[in-house]
Chains A and B, each alone.
Chain A
Amino acid sequence: MEYISFILICIGILFNFFGCIGLMRLPDVYNRLQSATKCVTLGTCSILLGVLFHYGFVEAGVKAIIAIPLLFFGATVAAHALVKGAYIFGVKLGDKSVKDDYKDVPKS
């Protein structure tokens, strides 16, 4: 059990690290959000699962497993709000972008 939780927490930290590298390397706000939402969410979920395996089904473990769906919904809704807000604010897509269907849509 100890080893499983150790491995899960290590994987989580590794993915959080990849997410941070993505945040530094990718060109514009939209691509940076991609790495920020996906890698960081799964990394943190993995850490929480590691906590569950470490403590078992007692108070701390159950709290960790409840945090996972909350984190999922929080991250996705926050990503949507940030992307839409950035677009309406007028942040341009990066130089490498090939397509923009959202340009001629009336924004509310």
Chain B
Amino acid sequence: MRYIALFILAFIFWLLITMNISVANIIVGAVAALVTALIFGKHFIKDVIPFLQPQRYFWLIIYLIIFIWECIRANFDVAYRVLHPAMPIKPGIVKVKMSLKKNIAKTILANSITMTPGTISVDIIDDYIYVHWIYVSSEDPEKYSQKISGRFEKFIKKIFE
């Protein structure tokens, strides 16, 4: 099943980057997508059936809007810290607990954390993400977990689990 999903994705990707619907191009694209699916299929998401449910895409769109907003805020935040003469930074690595179980959900959460204001995910060990934070604003684990991952966690849970 996941081989078929990866094949379809690779084929659509090929058609989009070539933008050319001739027979020769479609045959070449199908062969290339087939080879890709055979080689990398075993690393693809385990069960793809849940991704056929439409409500997941509804949450995905809401999540994308929030994510782009956070991403733009992240940029102004970093620009402010960089251009300020005194450089208001207080960096440190903190440990954040998360409640997600699936590997793909953990990956997306770590990537989202990297793109949001002042945080980069360093490592994932079991249920904890280690996050490098440019301005450690509180010492309380509950508070900073909420601040770093709380915004995205509930949406990612709805999308991927």
List the interface of chain A (C-beta within 8 A of B). 15, 18-19, 21-22, 25-28, 30-31, 33-35, 37-39, 41-43, 58-59, 62-63, 66, 72-73, 75-77, 79-80, 83-84, 87, 93-94, 96-102, 105
Interface size band for B: 35 or more
Please judge, given known A-B contacts A79-B120, A80-B114, A84-B123, whether A25 and B91 are in contact too, CB under 8 Å: no
| A87 to B89 Cα, complex, angstroms | 19
State whether the Cβ of B19 lies closer than 8 Å to any Cβ in chain A. Answer: yes
B72 surroundings in chain A (CB, below 8 A) = 42
Do B82 and A18 touch (CB < 8 A)?
A: yes
What A residues does B132 contact at CB under 8 A?
30, 34, 83
In contact, B13 and A66 (Cβ under 8 angstroms): yes
Chain B interface SS verdict (over half) = mixed
A interface footprint on B108-120 (CB within 8 Å = 1, 0 otherwise): 0011001100101
Task: Assess A63 versus B78: contact at CB under 8 Å? Given A72-B111, A96-B90.
Answer: no
Contacting residues, chain A, for B78 (C-beta < 8 A):
18-19, 22, 34-35, 38-39
The answer to whether B19 touches A105, judged by C-beta atoms less than 8 angstroms apart, is no
CB distance A37 to B120 under 8 Å?
yes
Evaluate contact between B122 and A102: CB separation under 8 angstroms. yes
